[in-house]
Structure 1
């Protein structure tokens, strides 16, 4: 049975975010949307495969991305309109309505989604391709109407936004979709059964469930969620990449396991029948993090990299930028192997997180002049603090200094 679905794509939001991270991926996303749309119909599903009854793309025809070497150094979004139409999208032109270039795509998407709630077709699932947390009230409405929700976005997402969704398709999953669409174009996708990505995710989900249940059953005291999440990310390599299997956060994925007598508080979980609740003044010292850093690590899902290793991470990123033409997928592999040669174990997902943070902080790893390790570290620190501020996390000067010390960029 196919799920009746509607997809709404905020083109400007998704494309510009991808463009900042991986320009090749951005071009694949915009140039052949029919391919990844077909792959998405059968992957990262909540229950049944999807049937796209409504597919709308909201695009500013005068919008553009900076592209050195292109006409006037601008890559106009209008060039992708024919491909979107061929893919079956209803393209909604959303020109800028203010001097600052802001368009009304978000309002149009909200109005259209609310109208579909009363449509004679009962839509099972709404897929929103946007990282704009302003859609949070819309998601709350969709959830209250008992509709499933999937968010597709390559950028950092606020916890309030992701906590409402049933599944998150983040940057790594999007790049998997785009790689899969190349296979599809060559006739390489086997439609007779589940894809390799789906099979691997199911295996990883089973491994994750087994790990958490075993640790929970064997625990003699409350388990620190930060430390447990780090262990799970190391042993279940697809867990974080899939947005904790679409749950949006590690804690939400654990809650979905429905463990017997489980309680959550003070960043711990415990069995109410076997354990005493954790003391209110406990911090993340058990995970090796200062309290202020632990707060950010939990709320922003920061990579758990040892303090002494952060400068090495920034140095390796700078070395890659100096000696290679930047490609995010290849960069994570190369940097992981280079760090391993120095005795530092950092996963590819963690490296991708740092690279994205640096680029969101204003330092591009694909710029003509390769950035220094110090510039990369400062940009990443700035991006972390900006995200904390946008989420309303209480950080004073002391906390900012502690975070800088942890990263080695003060």
Structure 2
């Protein structure tokens, strides 16, 4: 079997939140502090050289370690550099997300077209469905693609990649084991967990959040959808927002926007873009 020449593109913030919500902060922290634990099995299924390794992160982001401490993503930079990654800072450019997905798409296309060395395989670590066009473009250029994403990733995303590795499998490389006797599954949060994720998303926001954007971010972080979870068991979006902390929805196109109560007296200048 010939040796594959591979490139790895890691959307750090996205993968870390997926692991945190699916397996817990202990395994998310292990992913960030010891990348060799998951990188070795990721590359070991066949002969390959990972010629290009890039990790895209927001240095100002933070992870709750489960013991009350918040660890800045910048603290994990050296672990990834020690594993051979180039770390690319992607601070927030919009109010809710950084530009990692756009940077990855541009860099992957540049790498594919580079005359310096032909890359046979592109490995993307992200649960973001925005990468479907990139995956399709790489396939059309006769490149093999591997996607590490949430185990419940949609059929359209799954069909765009040659191989999909679930975050549950990656978490297993880190030592996570599902409590099968309790019916526990990766990324299948209960209602309280979903409420907590919705609360986190809205507290991180700096402007009102478009309802479809809220649903997409919930899906990216947990694998659950607003309607599919019956709005975290509350029965309606408004009931969910009330239970999550008294957030308020204002009507508008696409379901409107969600506001934090403190914005009602001094509303932000503009709503979060759809």
> TM-score, normalization: structure 1?
0.46
Q: Which residue of 1 aligns with 2:125?
A: 129
Structure 2 distance, partners of 1:13, 1:354, is: 14
Q: Which residue of 2 aligns with 1:289?
A: none
**SS of alignment partner, residue 138 of structure 1:** helix
* Residues 357 and 139 (structure 1), Cα distance of their counterparts in 2 relative to 1, 3 Å cut: farther
Q: CA deviation at 1:156?
A: 3.5
Structure 1 distance, partners of 2:35, 2:93, is: 27
Unpaired segments ≥5 residues, structure 1: 180-327, 337-350, 365-378, 390-394, 402-410
Q: CA deviation at 1:362?
A: 2.5
Q: CA deviation at 1:360?
A: 6.0
Is the contact made by 1:357 and 1:383 (CA closer than 8 Å) also made in structure 2? no
Residue 84 in structure 1 maps to residue 118 in structure 2? no
Residue 386 in structure 1 maps to residue 226 in structure 2? yes
Q: CA deviation at 1:62?
A: 0.3
* Residues 363 and 96 (structure 1), Cα distance of their counterparts in 2 relative to 1, 3 Å cut: closer
**SS of alignment partner, residue 152 of structure 1:** strand
Residue 3 in structure 1 maps to residue 4 in structure 2? yes
Q: Which residue of 1 aligns with 2:180?
A: 333
Q: CA deviation at 1:132?
A: 0.3
Unpaired segments ≥5 residues, structure 2: 198-217, 237-274
Q: Which residue of 2 aligns with 1:216?
A: none
1:4-43 mapped onto 2 (5 Å cutoff): 4-21=5-22, 22-43=24-45
Residue 151 in structure 1 maps to residue 147 in structure 2? yes
**SS of alignment partner, residue 123 of structure 2:** strand
Provide, for residues 183-232 of structure 1, a one-character-per-residue CA deviation record: whole Å limited to 9, x for no partner: xxxxxxxxxxxxxxxxxxxxxxxxxxxxxxxxxxxxxxxxxxxxxxxxxx
Q: CA deviation at 1:383?
A: 7.3
Q: CA deviation at 1:167?
A: 1.0
Specify which of 95, 99, 102 is matched with residue 97 of structure 2: 102
Q: Which residue of 2 aligns with 1:64?
A: 62
* Residues 359 and 110 (structure 1), Cα distance of their counterparts in 2 relative to 1, 3 Å cut: farther
Q: CA deviation at 1:129?
A: 0.2
Bigger helix fraction: 1
Indicate the structure whose relative CO is greater, using CA pairs within 8 Å and at least 6 residues apart.
2
Q: CA deviation at 1:353?
A: 5.1
Provide, for residues 357-383 of structure 1, a one-character-per-residue CA deviation record: whole Å limited to 9, x for no partner: 65762368xxxxxxxxxxxxxx9xx97
**SS of alignment partner, residue 122 of structure 1:** coil
Bigger Cα Rg: 1
Structure 2 distance, partners of 1:35, 1:383, is: 24
Structure 2 distance, partners of 1:168, 1:357, is: 25
Q: CA deviation at 1:141?
A: 0.5
Q: Which residue of 1 aligns with 2:210?
A: none
> TM-score, normalization: structure 2?
0.67
Specify which of 133, 140, 160 is matched with residue 164 of structure 1: 160
Q: CA deviation at 1:165?
A: 0.8
Provide, for residues 102-157 of structure 1, a one-character-per-residue CA deviation record: whole Å limited to 9, x for no partner: 21111110010000111232211100000000111111101111111111124642
Residue 352 in structure 1 maps to residue 199 in structure 2? no
**SS of alignment partner, residue 355 of structure 1:** coil
* Residues 357 and 130 (structure 1), Cα distance of their counterparts in 2 relative to 1, 3 Å cut: farther
Structure 2 distance, partners of 1:388, 1:160, is: 18
